[in-house]
Amino acid sequence: MDLSRNNFSSQIPNFLEKLSLKNLNLSFNDFQGEVPTKGVFANASSISVVDNIRICGGISELMLPSWLTKKEKKTKWSLTLTIVISVACVLLVVATMSFFLFYWRKNIRKDESSRSTLRKSLLKVSYQMLLKAIDGFSLTNLIGAGSFGSVYKGILGEDGSIVAVKVLNLQRQGALRSFISEFDALKNIRHRNLVKIKTSCSSVDFQGNDFKALVYEFMPNGSLEKWLHMDLETNTEQAEIQNLNLLQRTNIAIDVAYALDYLHHHCQVPVVHCDLKPSNILFDYDMTAYVGDFGLAKLLSELTIPKQSSSIGIRGTIGYTPPEYSLGSEVSTKGDVYSYGILLLEMITGKRPTDHMFEGGFSLHHYASMALPNCVMEIADSKLLNNVDEVIDNHNFSPTNRKEECLISMVKVGVACSVDLPQERWDISKAISELHLVRDILLGSRSKCNLFDYMEGP
């Protein structure tokens, strides 16, 4: 029987194996499925199934693909699916690891580049060089002292640049950690209102003792502490010169606020200063304010690390430390805002938060809050009102009303930033906006400053 070339499809009929046939030609059709194995199909020389590409099974001499049962098909499909899924998972894992490896290496290169740039920009100094720069720790060069060290004025390098050298007292508990914290906080940040670190020195002295120091750009006009609280009796002549009026104090408040805003919102890793106070606010030749002393600073990324015992204890200075820190709360940007609020109220009233009048739960915050809005002029530092009348008169304002309006606004900012509950404190960016309005009133201008004009570098 010759059934070739008839375009037959479907399965080969089983009844054909029951027919008494000597030869059966099923070639060049489109049969599919299993080939029978009995009757004429049992003799390979009697059967021709050429060019039926979808058939299988049959006797072994036909050399056709083996026939799979449904169970075998299911098993084969499951095996194939398992292999496909496994390969896909492996490829996904490899792709994910490659992705993270790429960005990790990219960040490593970026950090290395940053550190390389930093190393190139920093002077290389030794103990001997610093000893010569500050004239052997001469008391005449001593310009300040803090919890963990002393600050000296010095002349460094061939160009004779004037620097401030902070020498750590490593005998004090926490001094080494302070050195590390300050360098880590300052090494990758750049802002016009942050004291610039020039280099550091980690060496040994001539007796073999460890020596560590930080070298900063020198601030010739001292600290806000000295400008606010100059001893009038012993420095009468200097005090007459060293006076900050309302406009100057407003500019200082804005400078400090910009520094905090940068630290909190515009650094790659947010930084909490933890020790904002007048002695850490320094002035250059133009009386631009700079925030310095990052010895207690905290990178917020460190807060994800399990707590370890700290040799520093409560972060900050009495009077400026937010109340939640004494209760064991983690440091936060809201803590800096509290310190800023107290600092601003101190600039307005001329009173330290540790003044003897603030006892028994009565604080600088409450003192200023009670004066709002009608008694602000009574609590204001008399020195800050100098020359303001002239400034306002030049812009055809009513001096008394404008002066009082500005003071009320500034006290409101200080009070809003220094409330006890962290969640109720203003964000520092809101304080900046309000203080700009005050300065606009003092200058008769409504121009606004671009926040990013105050940033330098990456």
| Residue 275 is among the residues annotated as catalytic for this protein | yes
Question: What 3 state SS string does the chain have?
Answer: CECCCCCCEEECCHHHHHCCCCCEECCCCEEEEEECCCHHHHCHHHEECCCCCEEEECCHHHCCCCCCCHHHHHHHHHHHHHHHHHHHHHHHHHHHHHHHHHHHHHHHHHHHHHHHHHHHHCCCCCHHHHHHHCCCCCHHHEEEECCCEEEEEEEECCCCEEEEEEEECCCCCCHHHHHHHHHHHHCCCCECCECCEEEEEEEECCCCCEEEEEEEECCCCCEHHHHHCCCCCCCHHHHHHCCCCHHHHHHHHHHHHHHHHHHHHCCCCCEECCCCCHHHEEECCCCCEEECCCCCCEEHHHHHCCCCCCCCCCCCCCCCCCHHHHCCCCCCHHHHHHHHHHHHHHHHHCCCCCCCCCCCCCCHHHHHHHHCCCCHHHHCCHHHHCCHHHHHHCCCCCHHHHHHHHHHHHHHHHHHHCCCCHHHCCCHHHHHHHHHHHHHHHHCCCCCCCHHHHECCC
Catalytic residue among 135, 184, 210, 275: 275
Q: What residues act catalytically?
A: 275
